[in-house]
Chain A
């Protein structure tokens, strides 16, 4: 396990289609985050999981967005009825449990999944 993996790296879709992104975190990391990043902007928080529980959701996460982490390992982010405004880089990050004091706050990011909605 060398890091956080995201798939696919690039996705081009037509408006109205559904898309799903997958994130495989570092195996001993129990916390998983999804961010969205548009060109020239910083990453914006979308949602956060601790193990399989989704504990925080940003108001950016409209009802067309759904994220899951069914077994507390990999996570999926689905966007239904995509719109052109959904075009962005979707970043996943993971971090260790708080009980591990050293490096507990360090977020490790994947390379991202770039979505283009035509």
Chain B
């Protein structure tokens, strides 16, 4: 199955700064790269995703970049706000694989 590693495990930034979280994967057949945000007491919620035919996707303050050669993809959050504080997970998967594997998570703390 897919091996997914996520770094860093914790990240503390000042409000307004940028945050970057990186995820590396092992399965070269992976073709779909999502990021999930989990707030306390809730299930993970999809915030952005990218497919392997593009290298970058942006949605307001959030962007995801993909490097298929190096097998990693990253979540970028700009102009961070306190409500961005949560745990973020990447997910490794492909169209054929069904044992979808999460990264270990990154706890992001945005300090006012």
Contacts and interface: CB of A to CB of B under 8 A. Distances in A.
Interface of A: 4, 31, 33, 35, 40-45, 48, 50, 55-56, 58, 91, 93, 98, 104-112
B98 A41 contact: no
A108 B95 CA distance: 16
Given A41-B105, A42-B102, A43-B102, A105 B95 contact: yes
B32 A105 contact: yes
Interface residues of B, number: 23
Contacts of A106: 34, 46, 49
A109 B100 contact: no
Contacts, number: 55
B55 interface: no
11 contacts: A42-B103, A42-B105, A43-B44, A43-B89, A45-B99, A45-B101, A55-B98, A107-B46, A109-B45, A110-B43, A111-B43
Contact of B104 (A42, A45, A93): A42
A93 B93 CA distance: 14
Contact of A91 (B32, B43, B99): B43
Interface string B15-51: 0000000000000000010101000011111100100
A112 B43 contact: yes
A45 B104 CA distance: 13
Contacts of B105: 40-42
A36 to B, nearest CB: 11
- Which 8 pairs between the two chains have the least Cβ-Cβ distance? A109-B43, A42-B102, A105-B32, A42-B105, A48-B98, A43-B102, A42-B104, A111-B43
A59 B42 CA distance: 26
Given A41-B104, A42-B102, A91-B44, 11 more contacts: A43-B89, A48-B99, A98-B95, A105-B34, A107-B34, A108-B46, A109-B43, A109-B44, A110-B43, A111-B42, A112-B43
Contacts of A43: 44, 89, 102
